[in-house]
Amino acid sequence: MIQAYGWGHRNGYAIRFAPDDHPLAGQLLVGEDGPDERGSRPSNGAPEVLSVDYQDPAGTPVYHGWPDRFGFLASSQAVFNPVGGASDDLCVFDPTNPPSFCTPASLNHILTEDVPIRDVLALPPAPIVSPIALEAADSSFTGIDFVPKSFVTGPVLPGAALYTLEGDFGFSAPNATSPAPEVGHEVKLINFNQDSNLPLQLSFQNFARNNTGDQAFISSTNPAAFDRPTNVRFGPDGCAYVVDYGAVRDPGGGPGGDTRFADPADGPLVQFPGTGTIFKICETD
Cα distances (angstroms) measured from residue 41 to each of 113, 120, 128: 10, 10, 21
For 151, the domain range is 138-285
Q: Are residues 271 and 215 in the same domain?
A: yes
Q: Are residues 284 and 145 in the same domain?
A: yes
CB proximity list for 219: less than 8 A, separation 6 or greater: none
HSE-CB for 165 with a 13 A CA cutoff: 33
- The H helix count followed by the E strand count for the chain is 1, 15
Q: Are residues 145 and 279 in the same domain?
A: yes
Distance (Å, rounded) from C-alpha 92 to C-alpha 108?
11
Put residue 253 in one of left, alpha, beta given phi > 0 → left and psi -120 to 50 → alpha.
Answer: left
Global pTM reads: 0.89
pLDDT at 260 (0 to 100): 45
Q: Are residues 156 and 142 in the same domain?
A: yes
Q: What is the pLDDT of residues 146-195, one digit of tens each?
A: 999 999 999 999 999 999 999 888 788 888 887 788 888 999 999 998 77
Q: Are residues 222 and 145 in the same domain?
A: yes
How far is the first Cα of the chain from the last one, in angstroms, to the nearest whole number? 45
Q: What is the pLDDT of residues 32-60, one digit of tens each?
A: 999 999 899 999 999 999 999 999 999 99
Q: Coil, strand or helix: which one is 266?
A: helix
Q: Coil, strand or helix: which one is 264?
A: helix
- How many domains in the chain? 2
